[in-house]
Structures are given as C-alpha cells and as structure tokens.
C-alpha cells in the first residue's frame, strides 16, 4: 500500500522533532544510502525522546516497576536518505486503549526537503514485575488523551496502514 503524499509543512505542524541528526558514513549500506537498520534506530531514538516528553522517564519506570514494549511496526520507505543528509523525526499520536498506544513517526530529510519514511507503531505499557501488559496509570492516561486530542486539529488524516489498532 502506497502512503499518501505528505508535505514537510504538514509534518512541521506536529511541533518540534523528537530526534534530529546528520546521517553519518557508518549508517551507509552497499547502495550508498542510509541502511534500513538505521531508519529503525532513528525511530527508536525518537521514541526514547518521546517517552521522556510524556513522562515515561527512567525514574517513573523504576519507581513503579514498569516499562514499555513495542508490539508491532509498519514502515514505509518513501525516499532515499544519503550520508550527510540532515534528518528529523516528528511524532503524531493516533489513539490509545487502556494498555496500548498507537502512533506515527515521520522521518523528514531536511536536506532534500521531503518526507523520507513513515513509521507506525503499537506500543504497550508493561508491568515488569509480572512481565505483562498493564493499564496506564490515570495521570499518564490523561496526559496521553490530551496529546491525542491536541493532534485532532490537523487538517490531514493520519496515514495509518489499517492493519493495526490500539
């Protein structure tokens, strides 16, 4: 399934990026562009920053014996990214259930001025003392709901793959 054409100005409506870097030579593959594993690493680094922003800090988890696990991913590779390109990852929440969060990340190639990749994720809140999914604490659930509601003002639909839901 081909993702919808999104513009960089649309993505910039999401606010500041969760992650930004310049692609180092070590991320290149034999085709001379950013290897697939480094797209995943960039999205993972953006996820770490995202969790800090919504209050899921190491201290939060340590005090409660909790964590988060990614359960499912879907990635669209739209445009090539090369060594030396400046990239940034922006996040859009989609929905949540009692235990899961559904969100999108957009990797923007700032050097080329294009959306290079879309990453869709289902992530679950975990009780690490039992190694099972758990409901978000009420204060965190309220914060997630506010974040999701804040993205409702966008004039473009979330380009979800249709196979995942929170």
User: Which burial class, exposed, middle or buried, applies to 128 when counting CB atoms under 10 A from its CB (0-12, 13-18, 19+)?
Assistant: middle
The per-residue pLDDT for range 31-80, each reduced to its tens digit, is 989 999 999 999 999 999 999 988 899 999 999 999 999 999 999 999 99
User: Which burial class, exposed, middle or buried, applies to 155 when counting CB atoms under 10 A from its CB (0-12, 13-18, 19+)?
Assistant: exposed
For the chain, what percent of residues have pLDDT higher than 70?
A: 99
* The pLDDT value given to residue 152: 84
The per-residue pLDDT for range 88-102, each reduced to its tens digit, is 999 999 999 999 999
Q: Which domains does the chain have, with CATH numbers?
A: 16-152 (3.10.129.10)
pLDDT surpasses 90 at 165? no
Its pTM stands at 0.94
């Amino acid at each position: 399934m081909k993702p919808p054409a999104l513009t960089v100005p649309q993505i910039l409506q999401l606010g500041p990026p969760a992650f930004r870097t310049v692609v180092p030579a070590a991320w290149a593959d034999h085709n001379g562009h950013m290897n697939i594993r480094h797209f995943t690493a960039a999205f993972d680094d953006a996820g770490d920053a995202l969790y800090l922003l919504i209050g899921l800090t190491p201290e939060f988890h340590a005090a409660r014996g909790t964590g988060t696990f990614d359960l499912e991913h879907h990635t669209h590779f739209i445009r090539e990214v090369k060594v030396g390109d400046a990239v940034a990852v922006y996040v859009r929440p989609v929905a949540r259930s009692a235990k899961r969060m559904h969100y999108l990340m957009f990797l923007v190639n700032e050097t080329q001025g294009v959306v290079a990749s879309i990453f869709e994720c289902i992530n679950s809140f975990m009780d690490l003392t039992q190694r099972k999914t758990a409901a978000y604490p009420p204060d965190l659930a309220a914060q997630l709901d506010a974040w999701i509601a804040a993205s409702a003002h966008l004039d473009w639909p979330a380009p979800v793959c249709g196979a995942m839901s929170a």
